[in-house]
Structure 1
């Protein structure tokens, strides 16, 4: 059995929804569809979810959201008419949602209604059963899925049934609607796949899989045929997009494969994400900018028990949570997202670190990026040497390197201004 999740671009209008129906009908194992809110129809269009957030912002200011909501309502009515569906009940549901937003039902309620309405329309169009995610998916206060969700969903899914479930949201333990982070419909699809005991989780979007490099940087970047759960998470950590990395977690325990596919090119095989792979060599390179770098040094630092932990605790007190760490004999370099703290906070933090830990030196720098080379069995591979040589030849400064601690990822710190060019250079050298 296959669970299919369709992203916003796959549901942008009635023509796209017809493609979705054709995909579902082409394979009898596709019995559950998880859907997003309608995305952009063109580059100048607005996503429905963005307009819903705008409606909620107006409601919080005690202003009517009708003028914005009318655009949302028009989108859904046009879709329903294009699919030759009755619009009377839909119009009533839209009016109720607008009134609830104006009445202050909250951000999560407002944001979730795009998926709710998409699922209602899709279920009606397919003749499948609609299941409201708020009745089954329980989201904890920290945004993670409550294991109770799997039991509740499994209880609603009957063998031989066909279901449409809205993505992106569920409810808290009190039954109040709660959303995942943006892009959370990927997570919803994975939750449903696990609860249903699916053999495969298909994630349908507007690209034919994950690319070996950002196609906006490398024009002829190839599609990755296969990678592992770990590899997709590591690529996501250094900026690769397409698939929400948190969506891996629900399917890991059950070993459910994920196939990223293209709604507009359903014949393309896409990218398969599996629990493990014996393939060797490089599969992708990506870079993420917007980091700051903190460097600390003290003679015999690592012979002082608890010192590293104590310094990290101090960073947390200042709101700094490092994403990447590099260690020398007597030094530590931490990379963290620059938006976590302004210069005033960082200067105060550095001075306190110097004083409390009697450091030889401590300083921070802005405008850094982290580049990741991801593959299989990289500890037996010469790609690191090739990549470094290519960067040197291109005149790109290497600030920090983490090689050998993972056999799937090599990390290279570069200046933010060099990040895109570094991806181009390494892709050309390794692919």
Structure 2
């Protein structure tokens, strides 16, 4: 049995959904289909989910979302017309959703309705069973999947039945609608793959797999034929966006392979994501970068002399809403990189003042506009001249290296550059290494 997930571009309009039908009907093993909300039909179009967030914003101000919701309703009606589906029953569902948003059911309820409506519509079109993710998929407060979710799904899924399931959301432990982070339909597909003991999980999108570099930057970017869960996780962690980085967890224990494929070119092999691969001939998988980081640097003579200091400092950062993504440690110093959006300048100033006072720091500094670049591959540690090639290529391109982290991961080399050098750094490293 195969689980398929179709992203927003794959269900953006009637023509795209017709492609979905052709794909699932081409292989009878494709029995569970997870769908996203309709995405952009063109560069200037608006995603349904973004419009739903706008509806909630109006409702929270005590205003009706009716004017904005009409655009959403028109979008679904146009798809129904294109697919030849009777509209009357669906109009009633749309109105019910609008009323629930206006009643103040919150941002997560509003955002989830794009996938809900999409699944209801496609289930009707294919003649498959509609299975709501709520209440079967339970999401913990930290956004992870509650273990009960798998048993819930196993109890309701029937072996010979076919299901359409909305992605992106489930419910919290109290039964209220709760969403994953954006792109979370990938996670839903992975959960269903694990719960149904699928032989594979097909993730259908608008590109023919995971690229070794952003194809918008490099014309000759190549699709990675085979990569491991670890490589995908680390590439996603530094900006690669084809597949949600948290979607690996549900399938990794069962070692269910993931096949990233293109709805618009279904015969392309795509990228296979597996537990292990031979890295001898292809040591590196790709290079990617993520902007939007700030750096906090703390220094104090004998900083680590007293046990528990690092934990205490990190706890204080959490009090101010800072959760570092990357860490570097010196003899008497700590450098943490965190997403700039986590705190305002006033919060950072208050945090620095308190940290310096409570821990008697010699200095504490925060600066912005940093990018973290990752060179990822199962053969990173065996790539003998990797560091010299990376440093040499950046130096030749006059790109200042802010840090280099090698050895903390068996699968990646991380380095820091100024944000305005992001694209140049990625292109330079790709050309030098690939």
Within 5 Å, which residues of 2 pair with 1:11-90?
11-90=11-90
Distance 2:352 2:202 in 1: 47
Is 2:369 the partner of 1:371? Answer: no
From 355, 358, 364, the counterpart of 1:362: 364
The residue that corresponds to 2:288 in the other structure is 286
Distance 1:295 1:160, change over 3 A: same
1:358, distance to aligned residue in structure 2 (A): 3.5
Mapped contact 1:4–1:34 kept (Cα < 8 A)? yes
Q: Secondary structure at the match of 2:16?
A: helix
Which region of structure 1 is more displaced relative to structure 2, 383-392 or 93-102?
93-102
The residue that corresponds to 1:345 in the other structure is 347
1:355, distance to aligned residue in structure 2 (A): 3.8
1:372, distance to aligned residue in structure 2 (A): 0.7
The residue that corresponds to 1:169 in the other structure is 169
Distance 1:95 1:397, change over 3 A: same
What TM-score results when the alignment is normalised by the length of structure 1?
0.96
Q: Secondary structure at the match of 2:112?
A: helix
Give RMSD over aligned pairs. 1.6
Distance 2:9 2:301 in 1: 55
Is 2:320 the partner of 1:324? Answer: no
Mapped contact 1:187–1:247 kept (Cα < 8 A)? yes
The residue that corresponds to 2:152 in the other structure is 152
From 287, 298, 312, the counterpart of 2:300: 298
Distance 2:100 2:225 in 1: 45
Distance 1:52 1:356 in 2: 45
Distance 1:95 1:348, change over 3 A: closer
Q: Which runs of 5+ in 1 are unaligned?
A: none
From 379, 382, 393, the counterpart of 1:380: 382
Within 5 Å, which residues of 2 pair with 1:110-125?
110-125=110-125
Q: Which runs of 5+ in 2 are unaligned?
A: none
Mapped contact 1:391–1:397 kept (Cα < 8 A)? yes
Distance 1:353 1:71 in 2: 49
Mapped contact 1:282–1:383 kept (Cα < 8 A)? no
Q: Secondary structure at the match of 1:363?
A: strand
The residue that corresponds to 1:197 in the other structure is 197
What TM-score results when the alignment is normalised by the length of structure 2?
0.95
The residue that corresponds to 2:429 in the other structure is 426
Post-superposition Cα deviations, 1:119-178, rounded to whole Å, max 9, x if no partner, equal 111111111111111132122233222211111111221112111111111122333222
Which region of structure 1 is more displaced relative to structure 2, 358-367 or 61-70?
358-367
Mapped contact 1:323–1:336 kept (Cα < 8 A)? yes
Mapped contact 1:326–1:401 kept (Cα < 8 A)? no
1:90, distance to aligned residue in structure 2 (A): 0.8
Post-superposition Cα deviations, 1:298-357, rounded to whole Å, max 9, x if no partner, equal 334344322222222222233222111112233221111122223333334334433433
Distance 1:67 1:396, change over 3 A: same
Distance 2:20 2:53 in 1: 26
Distance 2:141 2:309 in 1: 32
1:362, distance to aligned residue in structure 2 (A): 2.7
1:283, distance to aligned residue in structure 2 (A): 0.9
Report the count of equivalent residues. Answer: 431
